[in-house]
A = this chain, B = another copy of it.
């Protein structure tokens, strides 16, 4: 990664118009890995401009290092590629791009979108790698919908096993691109992300794919609670299986109640059962929830996030709250005991052991 001031491929260089220009909006753990994947492909594929801009929310670390110089905070030791250009100015970062990759923390997305209105190309296409939803008075709004509504551009999603550090070291992973109508654009995103160790396929069900990616983190929190409780290995295996099976059931029911267009077959894509199993057996949602249960709920998620995630927010905990709001608002609390119980444990209303009482029924 090079700070933009030092790169040879700066603003003044003319590039052919038919080449796509990619900007990654976000530079956390997953954003940096996405930039790495993309940058390896733009070098190889002639339809893309080599340079990948990455908008970096500028932070000066205690050591005096700037995040735009090396992503020492979120992905230390991983080379993103010399063609990744860190750009601290948002407007500058997105100005020329016709392919925008959104991977910022989802609680920042509304504000980000507001800042981007009128600043992006009219022909831009977007993809969201963000898990979560905005809960508003009029109902839940998926992040892809937020982007489309606020910026007036089409938005696909890419969801898969959220274990960025494993992808960073090139362990095999899978993901699914969800799209609404334009299959060609979906296939372009597939080409941009696919590598020999990152297998991507397309699926015409944007809400289904996005909800799989989002809701699986809530189930992973439940699986983590089970892992952190004192139980024999056999009981633990039984309980984990029960959690995954009930989690899948609630994920599917919740998605199809919210969007009747969500297809059964989407759950067989990489973003579905496969990712659910991977995330429940590994990943940071499971890990932090395990630590939460081990401490008997006496250490809050805020504290654990500070310790284990260097202050990044745990997606599953946020999503559990959002899902709970939807359930409460629609009168569905009784229909989704697992989702409900996870949130009530997260906020300390129930003890971590409640996950087991629930999953026996």
The docked-state distance in angstroms from the alpha carbon of A241 to that of B361 is 25
Q: What is the chain B residue whose CB lies nearest that of A243?
A: B277
Q: Are A278 and B245 in contact (CB under 8 A)?
A: yes
Is A273 interfacial (CB 8 A cutoff)?
A: yes
The docked-state distance in angstroms from the alpha carbon of A166 to that of B273 is 25
The docked-state distance in angstroms from the alpha carbon of A281 to that of B270 is 20
Q: Are B172 and A278 in contact (CB under 8 A)?
A: no
Identical subunits present = 2
Residue among A242, A244, A265, A273 with the most chain B CB within 10 A? A273
The docked-state distance in angstroms from the alpha carbon of A237 to that of B172 is 14
Interface members, chain A 227-267 (any B CB < 8 Å)? 234, 237-238, 240-242, 244-245, 248-249, 252, 264-265, 267
Q: Are B268 and A237 in contact (CB under 8 A)?
A: no
Q: What is the chain B residue whose CB lies nearest that of A263?
A: B264
Interface members, chain A 272-315 (any B CB < 8 Å)? 273-274, 277-278, 280-282
Cβ–Cβ < 8 Å partners of A63 in chain B: none
Residue among A242, A265, A270, A360 with the most chain B CB within 10 A? A242
Contact of A273 among B273, B278, B281, B360 (CB under 8 A): B273
Q: Are B268 and A248 in contact (CB under 8 A)?
A: yes
Q: Are B241 and A278 in contact (CB under 8 A)?
A: yes
Cβ–Cβ < 8 Å partners of A249 in chain B: 268, 274
Q: Are B172 and A277 in contact (CB under 8 A)?
A: no
* 24 A-B pairs whose Cβ atoms sit less than 8 Å apart in the complex: A166-B238, A171-B238, A172-B242, A172-B360, A172-B361, A237-B282, A238-B282, A240-B277, A240-B281, A241-B278, A241-B280, A242-B278, A244-B277, A245-B270, A245-B273, A245-B274, A245-B277, A245-B278, A248-B273, A249-B268, A249-B274, A264-B268, A273-B273, A277-B277
Q: A-side interface residues toward B, CB under 8 Å?
A: 166, 171-172, 174, 234, 237-238, 240-242, 244-245, 248-249, 252, 264-265, 267-268, 270, 273-274, 277-278, 280-282, 360-361
